Structure 1
Amino acid sequence: MECENNQLTVETAIFAGGCFWCMVSPFDQKEGIIEVVSGYSGGSIENPTYSQVKTGQSGHMEVVKITFNPEIITYDQLLDIYWQQINPFDEGGQFSDRGSAYQSVIFYHNQQQKKKAEQSKIDLEESGRFDRPIVTKILQSKPFYPAEEYHQNFYQKNAFRYALYQRSSGREAFLKKYWPRDRSKLKDALTPMQYYVTQENGTEQPFDNEYWQNDKEGIYVDIVSGEPLFSSKDQYDSGCGWPSFKKPVMSASVVENIDLSHRMTRTEIRSREADSHLGHVFEESNKSKRYCINSAALRFIPKECLEEEGYSDFLILFRMK
């Protein structure tokens, strides 16, 4: 659908790809996107509630409605993004969300969108990326109903819960397997040291890095993904010259790998979501652990900024004695 709005041409696209929490962020930060709204479409009743949709009573699906400027980002580009967010050969839902409300569907507004959607599906099938038939439907659009305010921009308002859900649902692992990330753009987004540490398994100089003596309260997140990793509550001066922690803020946030480089055996620590190299973990003589982490792999968020940046769940750490 197209319209003129103060001489600005805008179009809308509607995609169903399972839980709409996970379908907002891939589009929301792209240049040319005007608005992304979570909602419901494809059903038979007006103004359905989340409960009616989730249980299949209304016949609707969870969808996102994307308003965009086609002079900056095209419908073809939106389709490319869409395919990289879903499991296109799952007929029963998406990842851990099962049932008709969580089908993958492209809703087209006009014949041009229909043609482009059908061609993108053919291109994906012929690419050989998937070894099973693609079952994603391409359907005529129906009325769209915005979801409750709680569901809007959930990934921003509840960043921690969103990350947990995306991981536990199986979506994250599936997308990593079939759509490995292109890391080339990180060279522009990161400093040379941040790139060297996170992407090339490098190590920065001890006693000459940003956080080794940090004494402020807050949490440390992955410099690449924003994934919560460590808390200042667990930070201590181990004398090694790098930020040291007794434990991660959540054990599921990090992955341990055996590191045989430099003619020694160590346990490497990587972030689960972004797969960034963080540092190493060592067993201390008293059987405790020391997580020795590069400052360049981290971004520190002060306690007073946690709510503003979507990490309000972690405020509880600083209310505990």
Structure 2
Amino acid sequence: MYKNILIAIGFALVGCQGNSQKKETAQKTTDKKETNFSVVKTDAEWQKELTDAEYYVLRKAATENPFSSDLLKNKKEGTYVCAACGTELFKSNTKFDSGTGWPSFYEEIKGNVGYDVDYKIGYKRTEEHCATCGGHLGHVFEDGPKPTGLRHCINGVALNFVPAE
């Protein structure tokens, strides 16, 4: 009896698919492996220019620890830019507290963020990267607030903040 229940639960878990990645955003992809970014550097050049944390997140697609970014609680007006190349990525008026532990935005600056699909944790997620240098930023999910319904969940170490003048 218990064996049958465990098997049924196992099938139910394997068969369940989250719907946060099924819509249009997950279908928008670019080939991150391409080297047609306008800022291209060798791995050694990136290592020399970036801090260890920035390098591992931006160039090796690592994830910083949740709640570790100084930018998480930043409420100042301004623009969030790529820590590697300075490309403007998100405006402060689109930032919101998602409770996830990473800076979150409901809208990117159009054309400055690229998308790819990754399966690193066993299921499909939409990865975000800087469209100028290819640096890994984080992931976008479809569980954010209006008006877009998106949650751009971004590693704070991948960003620098430029206050409004």
**TM-score normalised to structure 2 length:** 0.72
Larger radius of gyration: 1
Instruction: Tell me the alpha carbon deviations over residues 206-261 of structure 1, each in whole angstroms, 9 at most, x when there is no partner.
Output: 1111211111111011111110000110001000010000101x221111111111
Aligned to 1:234: 94
Instruction: Tell me the alpha carbon deviations over residues 24-51 of structure 1, each in whole angstroms, 9 at most, x when there is no partner.
Output: xxxxxxxxxxxxxxxxxxxxxxxxxxxx
Identity %: 38
Aligned to 1:85: none
Q: Identify which of 145, 150, 154 aligns with 1:293.
A: 154
Q: Which runs of 5+ in 2 are unaligned?
A: 1-34
After TM superposition, list the pairs within 5 Å mapping 1:130-209 onto structure 2.
176=36, 181-209=41-69
1:256 paired with 2:110, answer no
Aligned to 1:244: 104
Aligned to 1:282: 141
Instruction: Tell me the alpha carbon deviations over residues 145-203 of structure 1, each in whole angstroms, 9 at most, x when there is no partner.
Output: xxxxxxxxxxxxxxxxxxxxxxxxxxxxxx838x9532311212111110000000000
For residue 128 of structure 2, what is the amino acid of its counterpart? I
Q: Which runs of 5+ in 1 are unaligned?
A: 1-174, 305-321
After TM superposition, list the pairs within 5 Å mapping 1:84-99 onto structure 2.
none
1:215 paired with 2:80, answer no
For residue 221 of structure 1, what is the amino acid of its counterpart? V
SS class of match (2:121): helix
After TM superposition, list the pairs within 5 Å mapping 1:53-68 onto structure 2.
none
Distance 2:144 2:153 in 1: 15
Check whether the contact 2:144–2:150 (CA below 8 A) recurs between aligned residues. no
Greater relative CO, 1 or 2 (CA 8 Å, sep 6+): 2
For residue 283 of structure 1, what is the amino acid of its counterpart? E
**TM-score normalised to structure 1 length:** 0.38
For residue 143 of structure 2, what is the amino acid of its counterpart? E
Distance 1:199 1:181 in 2: 11
1:183–1:217: structure 2 CA closer, same or farther, 3 Å change rule? same
Decide which structure has greater helix share.
1
Number of residue equivalences = 128
Instruction: Tell me the alpha carbon deviations over residues 45-69 of structure 1, each in whole angstroms, 9 at most, x when there is no partner.
Output: xxxxxxxxxxxxxxxxxxxxxxxxx
For residue 293 of structure 1, what is the amino acid of its counterpart? I
Deviation beyond 3 Å, 4+ runs, structure 1: none
